Homo-oligomer: A and B are copies of this chain.
Amino acid sequence: MNISILGFGTVGRGVYEMIQAAPGMEARKVLVLPQECTESFMVTSIDEITSDAGTDTVVECMGGIHPAYEFASASLKAGKSFVTSNKALVANFGIELQALAEEKGVSFLFSAACGGGIPVLHNISVASQTDSILKCGGILNGTTNFILTKMQGEGKSYQDALFEAQKLGYAEKDPSADVSGLDTLRKVMLLSSVSFSVLPAEGLCREGIENFTSSVADYLSDEGRTLRLMGECGKGEKGIYAYVEPVAVKKTDVEASISSNINYAWYLGENSGLIGLSGQGAGRYPTASAVLRDLSAIMEGKKSMLGKDCVRGVADNSGKECRHTYLLCCDGRFEKTPELSVSDMHEMVRSMREKGSRVFFAQYR
């Protein structure tokens, strides 16, 4: 297997190194920006890779949607298998890329795009061959979990915890995709596409951790609870549901033990029951190890991990599968709601905020 790599950042370098050590795999070319082009194996134009007859597989580790999508399309059109760690790319263009891969008879895999080193997409893909996946989700963003751990474990303020995450390289300068829950939501979209053949693109309820404060942390601690940012999707009566919101878990729950930048993903199989997976959700070698797992799977003939005939869909979070009690903190006052659907709760909070209230809420289970 002869592999070219798009991008030579944290993950790309890890993939390059691991390929050197992997039997049956050879690294060909690496696409970099002109100012980074310092080695003979580096190229600066995607054409040098798509036209390279010696490259049979392309790994994309650039991130971002453009030009990643154009480069992915060009690679697949040139008949090369395509592996990516880019969740935004798959959440936005997974169906189109899968169609191109099928047309050309090559593979399209993206294990590293959800859960980093945790083999959750791989396991769901394998399990769904002989079992039916009912729902799945988890703690899928290490940055927010690090911030929550620092706030609740060490009493730091949101700003101090975020600053520490940035200093350690866990959070980006602009952390909005992480703290708003968007990163988690994209990973939930991928879970749904592999589990249910639906990539939900609308109707998604999303709440991050920007409104979590030390006073809420103290309140939860007194109640024997810990906050985690969690995503979930599943098969409901009215179709697929998918959402992201903070959850106040009991301190004895497995999610409470997932601290710092560790991720935890789970799925419920009709026969297997609940299977949980934990590990590094990001980082050079963990993420690269997931890419290598995909490369190895391609060598064994695996073509796809997106569910069969996957379609874009609308999530429905109003069903009976999506009803929870919530903790609501409005302008400093705490109360618990009766059971509400996810969509009703998110809608209610949006309306309260429009009227100027400062609102934090969390699923209380």
Contacts and interface: CB of A to CB of B under 8 A. Distances in A.
Of the four ranges (under 10, 10 to 19, 20 to 34, 35 or more), the interface on chain A belongs to: 35 or more
Contacts of A254: 254, 257-258, 278
Contacts of A274: 278-280
Interface string A119-135: 10011001101110000
A292 interface: yes
A300 interface: yes
A137 interface: no
A286 interface: yes
A273 interface: yes
A285 interface: yes
A271 interface: yes
Contacts of A272: 117, 279-280, 285-286, 289-290
Nearest to A290: B272
Contacts of A118: 275
A198 to B, nearest CB: 20
Interface in A258-315: 258-259, 269-280, 283, 285-286, 288-290, 292-293, 295-297, 300-301
Contact of A276 (B126, B269, B277): B277
Interface of A: 14, 18, 22, 117-119, 122-123, 126-127, 129-131, 251-254, 256-259, 269-280, 283, 285-286, 288-290, 292-293, 295-297, 300-301
Residue picked from A22, A119, A257, A290, most chain B C-beta under 10 Å: A257
Contact of A122 (B22, B117, B126, B296): B126
Interface of A is mostly: mixed
Contact of A275 (B130, B273, B279): B279
A286 B271 CA distance: 6
A139 to B, nearest CB: 12
A296 B22 contact: no
Residue picked from A22, A293, A301, most chain B C-beta under 10 Å: A293
Nearest to A284: B271
A115 to B, nearest CB: 10
A269 B117 CA distance: 10
B130 A296 contact: yes
Given A251-B252, A272-B286, 5 more contacts: A18-B130, A122-B126, A129-B296, A254-B278, A271-B292
